[in-house]
Chains A and B, each alone.
Chain A
Amino acid sequence: MRQDTIRLPGPAVAPDPGPGAVRPGDLTPELIATDWWSDDAVSRAGIPVVDVPFVSVGGGIGSFVTVDYLRICGVPTSAIRVLTQLESPWESYEYLTRVSQIPRGERLRSDSASCPDNIWGFPSYAVREALATRSPRSLWNVLVEPILADYYTPKAGQAFESMEREHDRIDYASTVVKGQVRMVRRRVGGGYFTILIPAEGTSPTRRVAYRSRYVHVAVGYPGLKFLPDLMEYRERHRDYGSVVNAYEPHEQIYQRLAAAPGTVLVRGGGIVASRVLQRLIDDRDARGLQTQILHVFRTFVTGAHGPHVWMRRRGGDGWAYQGFNYPKSVWGGQLKARVRKLEGQERAALYAQFGGTNTPIRRNWQEQLRRGRRERWYHAFQGEITGLTPGPSGTVHAALRTANGPQDVQVTAVIDCTGLEADIREHRVLADLLDHGGAGRNPLGRLDVERSFEVRGTRSEPGRMYASGSATNGGYFPGVDTFLGLQIAAQEIADDLEALGFCARLGPVRSTHQWWLWARGRKI
């Protein structure tokens, strides 16, 4: 435990740092205020410097996929450092999927060929599943989808296990340095300084600077933002158990409904709402529960919708249906081509057109909800929650504004399956890039990147700074926050780095050879 514990609020505040407040190895006011750092200023501050050509900040799946690509392009582990707080690249993703009711045994919403462990996408998850289970079922599925069957999607566990194998194969672990990145600043003379707060006890100083020619920022979602009404209810009534967001652990609600019959209010129309409903109904079926489900949509979709006949999305019963979170053509079709050419408001408008909350149409979900409507234990309606107050004996009183006027309901729990993504400024590294790194925002307000995923405005010749993942959503390539999007970003970055002479070209010979090594599980 650090010695610099401070107390908030109350009479005792921070211990007086005394006149020598800036300890050696700490950021000096000079550094904090300067956009471009000289080697001299960093050494004057007493911050130790580690030289490495390529630094990736984040350490999630974005970093993993990029490092995987570079390793396949011949970059040794000694030339790469991944600065992260995560135990494994999939740790954060797995947590979010698990709590939002996609444990390892359940299926993700991702295409068969989007394999973060395999840059070629071959063999796809469906092929590998068919081989592992010795059953052609998944192959048949991908052949006839989406007409005769739902889209094939891999099980979460399959994705994590295959990533783990690739993680070991490319010796990812030896690139990882644990700690928290505080900022990335440009270096006078080219390249960047990345300030790391190392894990406790691993460094004599509080900060370590990584001096690199290239920096890759993949810090993922800045975070979720629970809606204000939810936060206010919890803050005011100190009840964290009855009003929950679906992206946080909320097993207690299923336990309570199993212990005693109750009504639950679900809000939202995305895939998480679908998964939560499935869990509620699965529990209902398996344990013979009498759970009543109220489902409130802010926008109640009653049918197919879209600007014209070639750009329509199916819908009904409140939901907007789409196989994946974007139309498939954003990854390789006409939408990808169109967005690549658009700038400013035009790009934002097209994003708005194909964006929006939606969920895949899955036959088992359809069956469950149809049964619920028929047996009158599932009620979906348009409305908004206007107030939440504690009700008698552990219930929650929810005031709703609906199409039929205000309504009050008494429920056991409220599961909020909506959520806003926080602004990129909420992430301190991104905020620092905006303030001191020269980075800007794209038409959607996220980090503005070039077609090569270089962060626009941050160049420090001959260095480059790249970014991928959710923080760059809104750029020339849509779908960046998906497995395939991360791989496409990694490909663009590797191409750019190859032109700069940092890695080898992935031509037909190298690609075939590397695929062969991958298929045989040979370490590189």
Chain B
Amino acid sequence: MNASVDGRAVVLAGDGLVARLPGLLCVARCPEAEPLARLLTHCRAASGPEPGRTLARRLAGWLTGPDAPPDSLVFGTVSAAGGAVAVFLSGAVAARVGDVALSGAESAAWTDRLVPPGPVRLALDGVGPAPAAHAVLLDLREGVVAGGGVEVGAPAPASAPAPAREDPGAPVQSWPVDARPRTLNAQPTLIGMEPADAGTDPAVARTGAPQAGPVDVPTAPPGAVAAPGRDAGPGPSTAPAPGPGPATAPAPGPAPSPGPAGPGPAVALGKEPGGPPRARPAPRRTDAILGVAPDEPPRPPLEAGESAGTGTRSLSGGPSTAELSGPKPGEARGHLCSRGHLNDPRSHFCVLCGIRMNERTGVLVIGSRPPLGLLVFDDGATYTVDAEYLVGRMPESDERVRSGGLRSIVVEDRSGAVSRVHAEVRVDNWDVVLVDSGSRNGTFVASPGDPAWTPVPPGRSHRLEPGMRVRLGGRTFVFESPSGVR
């Protein structure tokens, strides 16, 4: 593993493929190409700053869904999930993250765990060690290549407080959180957990591992794993009390963590009392290991349904890192269907998969908002309401269109009654609203089945209902919505 101590990914030889995408590593093997392609599609769709949970849910949904891949597909992913690393293994694949070794071959379905960050080795069973020759030159930054495994070591501690690296041959002691080898219950997580109960034992989730106790400490007692809907209770947090022992032996000095000095991610996450001010949270280790630059520009909105997965929030807890904030642009608060697609809280059926929406507790979840409907113009042109639009004869003359804040819909009207900037179609939470932009001849709406046109007062927003017609000058369009919410 010393070949990859500096955050580079070294591909191990083998007859599968290895993918490194933003935030995740994937290793897979299958005689057919199609399941591999689909796997990569899922990985690409989830990749980004923190793909761990999304990816795990997507994969679980895929494996249990109607288009489940054949058993001949074996694969594993390791991805960033907050301050932890999400490992998902299906079939004869092994992963080692820090000191945690997991194997997919030991599970009936799959293995799905959150583990503390550390150097990663993800390989198909039977794959040999990293190539010795030129190892220091090998470096897969991003892409998909042939191989049987991948090793990613600790990041180069450029900003870290002078880690001692005199002995490059020594075993990597990147994270002195818990240097002891441990075995984990590598079993498929069977927990159907309610979203509100996502928090878990803080001791396990944040500091990576109990600080003392017997050598082979499972992260959670088996009972907690088997219990469905695990409302966080007085579970494992009470079990291993911190105390003196071998766990404290590795001195915190050589921590290459870019975070402030201190033992492990508990400090990096800014939770330790008395720590430095957390004006700027330090980049996470997972970011460094799994290839996400801390200042990665925001990527385009996730595709609908990606914000979650099969709905079983089965991943153990998860480090609670940031304060709760409201929805960002392109996001909304909604209900998840049982398969994890975000929906308007008012809708009865999932807009993506058609399942009834009464499956889950009424906990609101923030996620990527699916398209809210369509504008069907009288010439047959259609526009999906997944963005906000400015409608008019020359909408690009408006600064908001030029700056990319609004998309333009150019409406040609021989009557000349359409203004250059006529009306806006805005998104307000789960509603689509129409705003007249001070047009010369006004904007009118008509409810379905109502022959009368009603003027929309300039500057005031008017909620569009499915089937509602809108008139600008001599042109009309209809708003239709797939959600069935009226």
Contact = CB atoms under 8 A, between A and B. Distances in A.
B454 interface: no
Interface string B329-367: 000010010110000000011111111101111111111
A33 B53 CA distance: 25
B312 to A, nearest CB: 11
Name B's interface SS. loop
B161 interface: no
B362 A180 contact: yes
Interface in B35-56: 41, 45, 49-54
A260 B323 CA distance: 50
A9 B230 CA distance: 20
Given A225-B354, A241-B482, A249-B483, A11 B364 contact: no
B356 A240 contact: no
A426 B305 CA distance: 17
Contacts of A242: 382
Contacts of B360: 428
A251 B483 CA distance: 12
A27 to B, nearest CB: 6
Nearest to A58: B358
A2 B362 contact: yes
A364 interface: no
Contact of B353 (A1, A17, A19, A226): A226
A127 B379 CA distance: 47
A375 interface: no
A461 to B, nearest CB: 26
A232 B66 CA distance: 12
A11 B49 contact: yes
Contacts of B229: 27, 32
Contacts of A197: 361-362
A259 to B, nearest CB: 4
B197 A21 contact: yes
Interface stretch (A105-113, A216-224, A452-460, A491-499): A216-224
Given A11-B82, A235-B305, A248 B354 contact: yes
Contacts of A92: 348, 356
Contacts of A220: 356
Nearest to A428: B359
Contact of B354 (A28, A223, A252): A223
B199 A15 contact: yes
B133 interface: no
A247 interface: yes
Contacts of A239: 384
A19 B361 CA distance: 22
A5 B354 contact: no
B319 A222 contact: no
Contact of A252 (B307, B348, B376): B376
A8 B374 contact: no
B interface, size bucket = 35 or more
Interface in A52-94: 85, 91-92
A1 B333 contact: yes
B397 interface: no
A252 B338 CA distance: 27
Contacts of B319: 13
A252 B374 contact: yes
A8 B354 contact: no
Name A's interface SS. loop
Nearest to A247: B354
B480 A255 contact: yes
Given A4-B363, A9-B53, A197-B362, A419 B318 contact: no
Interface string A419-452: 1101000111001000100000000000000000
Given A12-B322, A426-B359, A241 B480 contact: yes
A11 B482 contact: no
Interface string B132-146: 000000000000000
Contact of A394 (B303, B381, B481): B381
B378 A14 contact: no
A228 interface: yes
Interface string A19-45: 101100011110011000000000000
A432 to B, nearest CB: 8
A374 interface: no
Contacts of B478: 251-252, 255
B199 A260 contact: no
B295 interface: no
Contact of B378 (A5, A13, A259): A259
A interface, size bucket = 35 or more
Given A2-B364, A32-B228, A394-B381, A9 B349 contact: no
A377 to B, nearest CB: 18
B321 A29 contact: no
B265 to A, nearest CB: 14
Contacts of A426: 338-339, 355, 359
A6 interface: yes
Given A11-B322, A12-B321, A14-B318, A224 B349 contact: yes
B205 to A, nearest CB: 9
A10 interface: yes
A180 B358 contact: yes
Contacts of A420: 66
Interface in B7-56: 41, 45, 49-54
Interface in A154-187: 180, 182
B371 interface: yes
A241 B374 CA distance: 7
Contacts of B82: 11, 13
B6 interface: no
Contacts of A28: 231, 233
Contacts of B363: 2, 4-6
B438 to A, nearest CB: 28
B67 interface: yes
Contacts of B234: 19
B458 interface: no
Contacts of A235: 45, 303-306, 352
Contacts of B355: 222-225, 422, 426
A308 interface: no
Nearest to A422: B355
A244 interface: yes
A250 B199 contact: no
Contacts of B65: 228
B202 interface: yes
A314 interface: no
A13 B382 contact: no
Contact of B380 (A9, A250, A256): A256
Contacts of B367: 7-9
Given A29-B227, A235-B304, A422-B355, A5 B366 contact: yes
A226 B480 contact: no
Contacts of A13: 53, 82, 198, 318-322
A238 B384 contact: yes
Contact of B371 (A240, A249, A427): A240
A520 interface: no
Given A26-B231, A419-B354, A228 B67 contact: yes
A180 B361 contact: yes
Contact of A29 (B51, B230, B307): B230
Interface of B: 41, 45, 49-54, 65-67, 82, 192, 195-199, 202, 226-235, 237, 303-308, 318-325, 333, 336, 338-339, 348-356, 358-367, 370-371, 374, 376-382, 384, 386, 466-467, 478, 480-484
26 contacts: A7-B365, A9-B52, A9-B53, A10-B50, A12-B321, A12-B325, A13-B322, A14-B320, A16-B202, A17-B232, A21-B199, A21-B232, A29-B233, A33-B228, A221-B356, A222-B356, A224-B355, A225-B354, A228-B66, A231-B305, A235-B303, A240-B351, A240-B374, A248-B482, A251-B480, A426-B339
A-B pairs, 4 with minimum CB distance: A260-B380, A14-B198, A223-B355, A252-B480
Given A16-B199, A222-B356, 11 more contacts: A2-B362, A5-B365, A6-B324, A9-B54, A180-B362, A182-B361, A197-B361, A238-B304, A241-B384, A255-B376, A428-B360
